[in-house]
Amino acid sequence: MREEMSILRELAKEGKISHQDVGEMVRAMDEAERKSVWEEEGEFDPRRFMAKMYGSYSETMLNDIICVERMRCLRELVNALRTLTGEEREELLEKVEALSLPDPAQFAENPLMVNIDYLRRQKGLDVLQTLAAFTKLGDFSNCYEMREFDLDKSREMLRKSAQQKRAVEELKLSLPMRNGDIVRLHGPNSVEICQAEGQDLEVIVEKICWADTEDEARRNAEAMEIWTFLEGNRVWIRDSRIHEIAGFHQAVNLRLFMPIGTKVAGWISSSAQAKDVEANMALSVSGAFSAENVVGHLTVDAQSGSVNITNLDGKAAIECLTGDISVEKSRADVEIKSVLGDVNCDRLSGSCKAKLIHGSLTMTDTCTSHLDLSTKTGRIDFDGVAMSGMSYRIKSESGDIEMILDERSDCGLMAESEEGSVTCTVFKDKEEERRAIGHLGPNSIYFNVRRGSGGMSILSKSGNIAIKAKS
């Protein structure tokens, strides 16, 4: 991608192609790279792909992963230093000063994705020390974000943040909306989406600034403007920050009271939550996202942090770069894509399509009309009903699969592992098992569950497959 971008820049500079043509070509290449992340077979290497994230600026997914993990860590530490008091705060500052480069040898023999998975599971200062160790590893030698990382600069930034003062200013806005209108957001730090009682969009804005003195922080908060304007069926809400949207000195938090039948879309630089609301949402978030008791279509692009959805009625498309995903008590048709993180689904009754690059997938108490589950590196656990006449596909390239079938299941089932074992304990005795199971090969079986209506395909390249009856 780097070489192609360089050629396009030269052609545009020489006037051989227009800037509009450059944009179209870049978008086409970007889309091809994004598609290959989810469709290419074999080992996944994040150094080869553009990140499938809104606003991604880097040339490889690895750059984006390192960037979001570093920002997640610094955000956690800055918030802790600004909220803790007394001995707890002094203790954390002492630990910041004591940061040192750990021995990188402990990571040297690990595959790249194992080290990245270890990084995402760390908290606070451990993230900074792990990043410092990774700067000495060859896997990260061409990673721009890693070359820019400096432990001393991070320590200095945290030291200064701990000394800053805080000022807060609030205001309320009311904007008329029509059925089908869209609220467009540009970079607020956090957003809470609620249900409005009337037809107007009600907005509560919290502006927060940090500076060396209280007076400076207050002046900065007063000077920050909130802009709202109409554009066709769009109501734009943004603020006057230009360079500080993803920084640590200013923040804008919003509470949106959305009229029924409206939509909200845009980019949120930290976290978002929606509760007890009927609205369609298409949001890109850099941090955590949660939705509870939501009716509507939901599209979420998340960089880091967890995605938690409970009691959704509609449709959902969830994509996460690094973070765990949880979907519970959902009647929606759900599509999930995760690069680095575990996915847990409980009590789903709509269809589910999930593709994971590196992480485990767990489905409990499931009664869905259609399943298409796959992971490149990770385990799959399924506990639920295979409904009559429906289609189920479960695949893991390098992970075990355990299927626990409810007694109401009805499907023709085929299971095959290229290098692992296949075991089945759904039958009451050996005679029943002998009559029912057919063997396609040494590591594969097929049989009918009840009448054999519908189909279930279970495949693993190197993992073991276990099929059990629910007790």
Measured N-to-C along each axis, helices 125-134 and 112-120 cross at an angle, to the nearest 10 degrees, of: 160
> pLDDT: is 53 or 106 the higher one?
106
Among 9-23, 274-288, 300-314, the minimum mean pLDDT is found in: 9-23
Q: Which has more confidence, 248 or 294? A: 294
* Arithmetic mean of pLDDT, 91-107: 91
Question: Could you tell me the pLDDT band of residue 179, with boundaries at 50, 70 and 90?
Answer: confident
Structure tokens at 418: 């290229």
CA 199 – CA 279 distance, rounded (Å): 13
Q: How confident is the model at residue 180 (pLDDT cuts 50, 70, 90)?
A: confident
Average pLDDT, stretch 303-322? 92
- Location of structure tokens 């769009």: 234
Q: Report whether pLDDT(309) > 90.
A: yes
As a whole number, mean pLDDT of residues 367-381 equals 92
Determine the pLDDT at residue 47. Answer: 78
Reported confidence tier of residue 246, pLDDT bands at 50, 70, 90: low
- Over residues 22-41, the mean pLDDT reads 70
Quickly state the pLDDT bin for 119 (edges 50, 70, 90).
Answer: very high
Beta-bridge partners for 166: 210
pLDDT confidence tier of residue 115, bands split at 50, 70 and 90: very high
Query: Is 265 a residue whose pLDDT tops 50?
Result: yes
- Is the pLDDT at 80 greater than 70? The verdict is yes
Backbone angles phi, psi at 399, to 5 degrees: -160, 155
Pick the residue with more confidence: 341 or 304? Answer: 341
Average pLDDT, the chain: 87
Question: How much is the CA Rg of the chain, to the nearest whole Å?
Answer: 25
Pair of tokens at residue 212: 């060396």
pLDDT digits (tens, 9 = 90+) for 291-302: 999 999 999 999
**231 pLDDT tier (thresholds 50, 70, 90):** confident
User: 284-293, long-range: CB within 8 Å, 24+ apart, which pairs?
Assistant: 284/53, 284/54, 284/55, 286/68, 286/71, 286/246, 287/72, 287/75, 288/323
Q: Kindly tell me if the per-residue pLDDT of 53 is higher than 50.
A: no
- pLDDT over 80 at 341, yes or no: yes
